[in-house]
């Protein structure tokens, strides 16, 4: 099975970008331009979700594509975080950016790479996928996801 998932709110605990998407875009743009060390520190220090070992186990048996709304400028830091902190194996990493329409961009990549099921904590993104008849599950916990994927 080819599983796709988001990072913030799925691999990490829910983040501030859900509070104000416009504000998050502005802060990310300023931080990338003027405070690259801060961006690196933030990107590499994100707290992990509970039961993250479920995601690690999926990677042993499935193809994993990570599709995140993080800006492309965060790609290298995100790779480091996935490898050294989350210790998540994956096949592909796509950073689609926070600009308006990121759910649609995630969907386009998911279709292009042939994802069977996508996990995200944002209801709008899940609705975008479902409207296009692509299996998407609203992330709550890794234990819940493990159960629903076993049942399907």
| Predicted pLDDT of residue 15 | 55
* pTM of structure: 0.83
- Contact status, residue 145 vs residue 6, Cβ threshold 8 Å: no
Q: What is the CATH number of the domain that holds 34?
A: 3.40.50.1000
What is the pLDDT at residue 148?
83
In the predicted structure, residue 74 carries a pLDDT above the cut 70: yes
pLDDT in tens, 130-146: 999 999 999 999 999 99
Q: What do you get for the CA distance between the two ends of the chain, in Å?
A: 11
Give me the domain span that covers residue 119: 2-151
Work out how many domains the chain is built from and give that number: 1
**Separation of alpha carbons 139 and 36, rounded Å:** 30
pLDDT in tens, 10-59: 999 865 445 445 555 566 666 667 676 766 666 666 778 889 999 999 99
């Amino acid at each position: 099975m080819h599983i796709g998932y988001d990072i913030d709110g799925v691999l990490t605990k829910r983040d501030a970008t859900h509070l104000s998407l416009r504000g998050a875009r502005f802060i990310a743009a300023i931080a990338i331009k003027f405070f690259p060390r801060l961006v690196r520190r933030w990107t590499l220090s994100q707290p992990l979700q509970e039961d993250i070992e479920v995601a690690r186990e999926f990677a042993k048996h499935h193809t994993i594509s990570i599709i995140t709304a993080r800006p492309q400028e965060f790609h290298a830091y995100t790779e480091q975080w996935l490898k050294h902190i989350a210790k998540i194996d994956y096949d592909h990493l796509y950073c689609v950016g926070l600009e308006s329409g990121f759910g649609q961009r995630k969907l386009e990549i998911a279709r292009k790479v042939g994802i069977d099921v996508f996990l995200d904590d944002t209801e709008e993104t899940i609705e975008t996928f479902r409207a296009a008849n692509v299996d998407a599950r609203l992330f709550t916990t890794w234990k819940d996801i493990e159960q629903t994927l076993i049942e399907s």
